[in-house]
Amino acid sequence: MLEQLKKEVYEANMLLPRYNLVTFTWGNVSGIDRESGLFVIKPSGVDYDKLRPEDMVVVDLDGNRVEGEMNPSSDTATHVELYKAFSNIGGIVHTHSPWATSWAQAGRGIPCYGTTHADYMYGEIPCVRNLTREEIEEAYEKNTGVLIAEYFKDKDYVAMPAVLCKNHGPFTWGKNAHEAVHNAVVLENVAMMACRCEMVNPQVQPAPQELQDKHYLRKHGPNAYYGQK
């Protein structure tokens, strides 16, 4: 069942330790098959060096396990909400990557200070508020997804494939699991350089809008000219 997707999601998960985005089991990647409405996600709490493609868990968009012997990631309900709200995405990543998590803990969005950021993410990377006590008690993981979806309701989630959850950590997404991991790496780099940039110049301002536009559109949209075709 979804063997190719399981392989892709497994490989995307294995990129997290390779890019130093996870310690222990602090992260998970999923990828969806839009036709069947099923997605594949890492099992909960399994070490990356013991993870195998066949351990991946298949889940439906109600959050029910459809195949697999292990429990899916404890963040599965968040993934469900994001897949339901963002119809054009095919993969989701959650990590506690250290620099992005430091910004999340600080409760600040990451201003766009340069072209590394603008090449992939359009504008400030948002930090969404804490859930209320009621939201936590009712359904913590689900409401995390609901809150993110609510924030992006009138925004372009393709042009901003990342969010920070206050006092928690980042989620990123993309057209598939691999691109979602790519965006998680970009986010970690951007978070690191934004912090150091503020150390070097505490009064720094975001990059000029025309520079952000140029770089984002150089890589995205009909007139993109970066890369090979």
User: In this chain, which of 99, 152, 171, 216 binds its own copies, going by CB under 8 A?
Assistant: 99
CA distance 170 to 93: 8
- For residues 27 and 90, which CB has a smaller minimum distance to its own copies in the complex? 27
Compute the CA torsion angle 97, 147, 58, 183 (nearest 10 deg).
-40
* Paired tokens of 22: 């996870």
Q: Kindly state whether residue 52 participates in binding its own copies, applying the rule CB under 8 A.
A: no
Query: Helices (DSSP H) in the chain: which residue ranges?
Result: 3-18, 76-85, 98-106, 115-118, 133-152, 177-200, 209-219
Q: Kindly state whether residue 126 participates in binding its own copies, applying the rule CB under 8 A.
A: no
CA distance 229 to 226: 8
CA distance 85 to 5: 21
Say which of 19, 33, 119, 140 is annotated catalytic: 119
CA distance 178 to 70: 23
Residue 226 designated active-site: yes
User: Which span sits near its own copies by CB under 8 A: 9-17, 86-94, 128-136, 154-162?
Assistant: 128-136
- For residues 87 and 201, which CB has a smaller minimum distance to its own copies in the complex? 201
Nearest approach, Cβ of residue 16 and its own copies (Å): 15
Residue 10 designated active-site: no
Whether the CB-CB separation of 109 and 100 falls below 8 Å is answered with no
Q: Kindly state whether residue 35 participates in binding its own copies, applying the rule CB under 8 A.
A: no
Active-site residue list: 119, 226
Interface ranges with its own copies (CB under 8 A): 23-26, 43-46, 70-71, 74, 96, 98-99, 101-108, 113-116, 130-131, 133, 136-137, 140, 167-169, 182, 185, 189, 192-201, 204, 207-208, 210-211, 214, 218, 225-229
